[in-house]
Amino acid sequence: MSDTPPPPAPPPAKLRPRSFSFVWLIPIIAALIAGYLGYRTVLQQGPLLTLSFSTAEDLAAGQTQVKYKAVALGTVDSIDLSGDNQRVIVKVRMNGVGSRFLTSHARFWVVRPHFAPGDLSGLDTLVSGAYIAVDPGAAGGTYQDKFSGLEEPPGVRSNEPGSTFVLKAENLGSLDTGSPVFYRDVQVGEVLGYSLGDGLGPATINIFVRAPFNGLVRPQSHFWNSSGVNAVLQNGDFHIEFQSLAAIITGGVTFNLPPEGLSSQPSPNDAVFPLYPSKDEADSAGYQTNVPIVSYLTESISGLNRGAPVDILGIQVGEVTDIKLLVDPGTGMAKVRVAMNLQPGRVVDAAAIANAGMTSAQVLQNMVNQGVRVQLDSGNLVTGEKIISLTKVPGAAKVSMVYENGALVVPSQPGGLDNAIANVTDISAKLDKIPFDQIGNNLNQLLLTANHTIGGPQVKQSLNSLNQTLKTATTTLKGVQQDYGDDSDFQRNLLQVLAEANAAMASLRQLTQDLDRHPQSLLLGRGGQ
């Protein structure tokens, strides 16, 4: 066994600490940035909005945005169909700002290029593409993230001050959603929509009037349909009237404010007004006093229609409200009942009649007593339009008017062009009865007889004898002239006789005049004793 000691153990190895490599900073920084961006994305990401539309036209996932005043509020995340395949379901990821718009008052719709008469909108989408617009509505409301999108842009936006009103009309004409509303030829609003209801009553039209013009809509205001073109012939001139080119194509509504409405307060939201078919009917509705009258005509009323004017001396004082044909089954006689409304306010203030202590009916009775009668007259010779005139008939007897269902019955008088034509026709019929042919034959026979008589031998012999007699008379007169000329005694005596005859005639004339003035002098003498 060796006593050699073992070799000494090697000294323990000293580990050198590994130095930090800056290469690792790059992924660490990238990870921190990614985490920060992810955190920020999660922090800024808004809720998921669900919209339903009838079509997904022009919409694209990942591209189409939701905007308000050109500010992006979110982006379409996905597009799908509803369970029944009737609607399109659009999922939109809203951002933090967009989450503030998710209230029950918000409305969403797709903005696309829209080309329609009087409405060119969404033209910017031709370049940027379609987008989903939002109207936040009034402040307040509850949180909501599911909406049914609008198919058309709303007529009223929450950031546009104004008022909505309701119009009632029997016919819509050419009115449609978006039709303009005018005041003094300035567009101040638009038609929001309409409803026919059950189809039995009047149509309901909703309109919007922008501020400050909504303050001009007051209880006395009148609305009328100003659609299309109105062509009339007045005083020999042809007039064409229309509100605007837009109103011709899309229709339009116009309203006014009569002077008596200036002192009243503006009408509230959703106030109801009638929509009149024309301006003339709207103006007629503005007269507070209406006197209903009726009259019966037995002549043809072709060309007379409801709304035809009633005038006095060419000035309109009312209009025709109803026309009805009545036939008596017992006698077979037919007549036309014409109902009218007289509006004294067109020519005289109602207060003036009241101040005179009279009623409109009394004034009308006085006019009838003066011979005023209802008469059918021609309003337009070209179109054949007829009107009603209250005309004074000379020699007309006084008639006491009576009431018929609350209306005064005014007597009528045939007249106008039709009456003149009837008179001409009657004269022509009477002329046809004259035997002109027989009269002509008799005249021809008389002329032939006279010709034979005058040209006969007896007449010729008589004329020759007369000629010989005239020659003899001429010879005799020449002799008398020689014997009894201007200086002859015969001539002087003749002049004296004539002078005495004149004096006698003067005395006789004086006697005649005296007897004419005093016939009693034949019995009582000149003194009358």
**pLDDT tens-digit profile of 316-367?**
888 898 999 988 888 888 898 999 888 877 766 666 666 777 777 888 888 8
Q: Which of 321, 386, 314 is nearest to 347 (CA)?
A: 314
Cis check: omega of the bond before 212, within 30 degrees of 0: yes
Question: Mean of the per-residue pLDDT values for the chain?
Answer: 77
Residue 159 has pLDDT above 80, yes or no: no
Check residues 113 and 229 and name the one with the higher pLDDT: 113
Q: Which of 305, 303, 259 is nearest to 278 (CA)?
A: 305
Instruction: Identify the DSSP state of 267.
Output: P
Amino acid code (one letter) for 77: D
* Tokens representing residue 142 in the block: 């509850």
Give buried/exposed letters for 370-397 (b at 16+ CB in 10 A, else e): ebbbbbbbbbeeeeebbbbbbbeeeebe
Amino acid code (one letter) for 520: Q
| Least confident piece of the model among 38-42, 287-291, 377-381, 394-398 | 38-42
- pLDDT tens per residue across span 492-524: 666 776 676 677 676 666 766 665 666 555 444
pLDDT at 78: 92
Q: Which residues contact 78 (CB under 8 A, 6 or more apart)?
A: 61, 90, 91
Give buried/exposed letters for 164-177 (b at 16+ CB in 10 A, else e): bbebebeebbebbb
E runs forming strands in 198-333: 203-210, 222-225, 230-234, 237-241, 253-256, 271-276, 291-297, 309-312, 315-327
Check residues 443 and 321 and name the one with the higher pLDDT: 321
pLDDT at 470: 64
Average of pLDDT values for 306-318?
85
Residue 58 has pLDDT above 80, yes or no: yes
pLDDT at 529: 47
Residue 186 has pLDDT above 80, yes or no: yes
Residue 119 has pLDDT above 60, yes or no: no
d(CA 136, CA 486): 133
pLDDT at 406: 85
Which of the four pLDDT bands, split at 50, 70 and 90, describes residue 236? Answer: very low
Residue 266 has pLDDT above 90, yes or no: yes
Q: Which residues contact 273 (CB under 8 A, 6 or more apart)?
A: 165, 166, 167, 168, 217, 221, 222, 223, 255, 267
Check residues 318 and 446 and name the one with the higher pLDDT: 318
pLDDT at 309: 86
d(CA 18, CA 179): 83
Residue 444 has pLDDT above 90, yes or no: no
d(CA 245, CA 243): 7
Average of pLDDT values for 173-201?
85
Residue 440 has pLDDT above 90, yes or no: no
Average of pLDDT values for 311-315?
85
The angle formed by the CA atoms of residues 87, 88 and 90, to the nearest 5 degrees, is 140
Check residues 389 and 283 and name the one with the higher pLDDT: 389
d(CA 92, CA 52): 11
pLDDT at 19: 60
Residue 312 has pLDDT above 90, yes or no: no
Average of pLDDT values for 184-206?
86
pLDDT at 235: 44
Residues 250 and 180 sit within 8 Å (Cβ to Cβ):
yes
Check residues 384 and 470 and name the one with the higher pLDDT: 384
Residue 525 has pLDDT above 70, yes or no: no
| Least confident piece of the model among 24-38, 43-57, 87-101, 389-403 | 24-38
Residues 247 and 230 sit within 8 Å (Cβ to Cβ):
no
Which of the four pLDDT bands, split at 50, 70 and 90, describes residue 209? Answer: very high
pLDDT at 516: 60
Residue 62 has pLDDT above 60, yes or no: yes
d(CA 170, CA 67): 40
Average of pLDDT values for 470-496?
64
